[in-house]
Amino acid sequence: DAGVTQSPTHLIKTRGQHVTLRCSPISGHKSVSWYQQVLGQGPQFIFQYYEKEERGRGNFPDRFSARQFPNYSSELNVNALLLGDSALYLCASSLDRGNQPQHFGDGTRLSIL
């Protein structure tokens, strides 16, 4: 079975631009979460979506937004990019909102010039 897939794998943007990152969860998984991982640090929680609704939000500015589609795939949008947004963006899926393990994709490496 396919794992969590994310696209694109790498992206280079300039300050002020916006970006859309995409995630396809494991088949049958209804919950998708997004994390930001800066080099040398652990992932930091951004959003959780379940059944197309936002169920949790981390301490990130309103420039960050996301949505989940009827097929449970998800998009993360970031507007007005800053140099500090350079990071690995990880998507994780799980069966539902319970304590089942979250399974991660290999992320999108975003570089801001």
Partner 1 sequence: EDQVTQSPEALRLQEGESSSLNCSYTVSGLRGLFWYRQDPGKGPEFLFTLYSAGEEKEKERLKATLTKKESFLHITAPKPEDSATYLCAPIQGAQKLVFGQGTRLTINP
Q: Which residues bind partner 1 (CB under 8 A)?
A: 4, 31, 33, 35, 40-45, 48, 55-56, 58, 90, 92, 94, 97-99, 101-107
Closest approach of partner 1 to the CB of residue 80, in Å: 25
Q: Considering beta carbons, is residue 51 or 80 the nearer one to partner 1?
A: 51
Closest approach of partner 1 to the CB of residue 96, in Å: 9
Q: Considering beta carbons, is residue 78 or 102 the nearer one to partner 1?
A: 102
Q: Considering beta carbons, is residue 16 or 58 the nearer one to partner 1?
A: 58
End-to-end Cα distance, the chain: 37
Cα–Cα distances (Å) from 66 to 39, 40, 62, 81, 109, in that order, read 23, 25, 10, 15, 17
- Count other Cβ atoms within 10 Å, centred on residue 63: 13
Q: Considering beta carbons, is residue 13 or 109 the nearer one to partner 1?
A: 109
Alpha-carbon span 97 to 34, nearest angstrom: 14
Closest approach of partner 1 to the CB of residue 108, in Å: 10
Alpha-carbon span 49 to 56, nearest angstrom: 7
